[in-house]
Amino acid sequence: MSDGLVHHKFSAPVESAIVATDWKARGYSCDLFTDPPGREWNDFVHNCDEVVTVLDGQLEMTVEGQHFILEPGDEVFIPRHVLHCVKNLHHATTHWLYGYNKV
């Protein structure tokens, strides 16, 4: 799964419009999550592929049992039907984008 993580895919400060344009060209939607410190999203599985990029803050992601830290501009690819979790590690609010491809 480590090949699904791209550090610095987008330059900081990350502009959501640039991410949305990139993802749209690749067939993905683009929506925003705003999570307070410590917020966790556990044990999700989707019927489509997903991409995630941090705008500001820091996330810990677990995808298929692998743990990694996402900083602003990093992008992770989550294949369909794969168990994944997300946690805001930042001491403040983290803003992050997620997108699903059309199945």
Q: What is the token pair recorded at 17?
A: 């419009």
Would you list the domain boundaries of the chain? 2-100
Q: Using CA atoms, how far apart are residues 75 and 4, in angstroms rounded to an integer?
A: 8
CATH assignment of 2-100? Answer: 2.60.120.10
Per-residue pLDDT of the chain (103 residues; tens, 9 = 90+): 457 899 999 999 999 999 999 999 999 999 999 999 999 999 999 999 999 999 999 999 999 989 999 999 999 999 999 999 999 999 999 999 999 997 6
pLDDT at site 103: 67
